[in-house]
Structure 1
Amino acid sequence: MSAAAAETGEKTGARPARAAGGRSTMVMIFAMAGLLMPIAPASFTVVAVYLSPTFIMGCFRGLQAPGAISTVAGFNIAGLLPALYHLWHSGNDFDTALALLFHSEFLVINFAAAGLGLSLLVIAPFIARTWVDIAGQRLLRRAEAERRKLLDEWGEALEQQNKESSSGAKASEKAAARD
């Protein structure tokens, strides 16, 4: 630790402060789930179990990507909606809710949607990088084609001018080296 850091009480190895980006999403999800508890306890039971990937993501914060909780929550809610639709159209009772908690089709839909959201967080940067590289290569090919077109049109004059300027530049470099 440096003397200046020791005087001010700063830690040199301290982590920078984390942004509170995911907290508002988690607060909103907990508030919505909390509102469901007294109004529709069967729906609350299904929501609490089916949104477990989002709750786990918010509690442990293993992935520090910006928007990670929002992405997983969005996909997780999309996977939850078919089960809620079935529950609401089947009477919204605890028997149906408990059956949904162990219904393999709805569980697979829900957890696959949450997994898709998580995999999107991991894969999206590579996809974006590839997209930018492809666009850069396309621009480079277009610039090369334009260069060839200009050389075909103005080729001899440009080559002579280029030779003159390069020989003049070499002469000025030699003169500068002698000084």
Structure 2
Amino acid sequence: MSTPSESARASDAHLEAVMIRVAAGDQDAFSALYDATSGHLFAVIQKVLRNQALSEEVLQDVYVQIWQNAGAYEAGRGRVITWCLTFAHRRAVDRVRSVRASQERDLAQGMKEYQESYDDVEDTVTLRLESERVNRAMEDLNSGQATVIKLAYYGGYTQQEIARIMDLPLGTVKTRIRDGMNRLRTTLGVRT
């Protein structure tokens, strides 16, 4: 009887072999990859989107990306499931941004109509400047800090989930969040 770690290594080796076949255009291997990974990917996508129909659409998009980019997978750089989860998470976050942008456009139109009736320019400028200030401060973070902070605060992930998604030790995730938040506080001039 195999231990859980032996079983996980066997599963990883199997998925790597499947991925090699997918990269060569093997549709049966792609079906096997889908069967082995779709549940995990869908769970991540749905956690970000919190919408069944959108999650199903994004899952389809993710598998198109995986099919098109299978040749770029490098076994030495990480597990197949982690590579696939990265596509899923990025695509889900992209969809959230797209939906938010649409909502912001709708809100902007509503604000424009509101402003035609009322002079609310000062509040609008203040909000926009504050938003731009936070976005600039986020750009000053290193990519590791920015990624974990976005996953935690915009994606709603716990530190343990972020560690699993990014295939990092939990301590590294905690350190990146702490250091990133400290840097944001300093950049924004927030006193604690």
**Larger Rg belongs to:** 1
Q: TM-score, normalised by structure 2?
A: 0.33
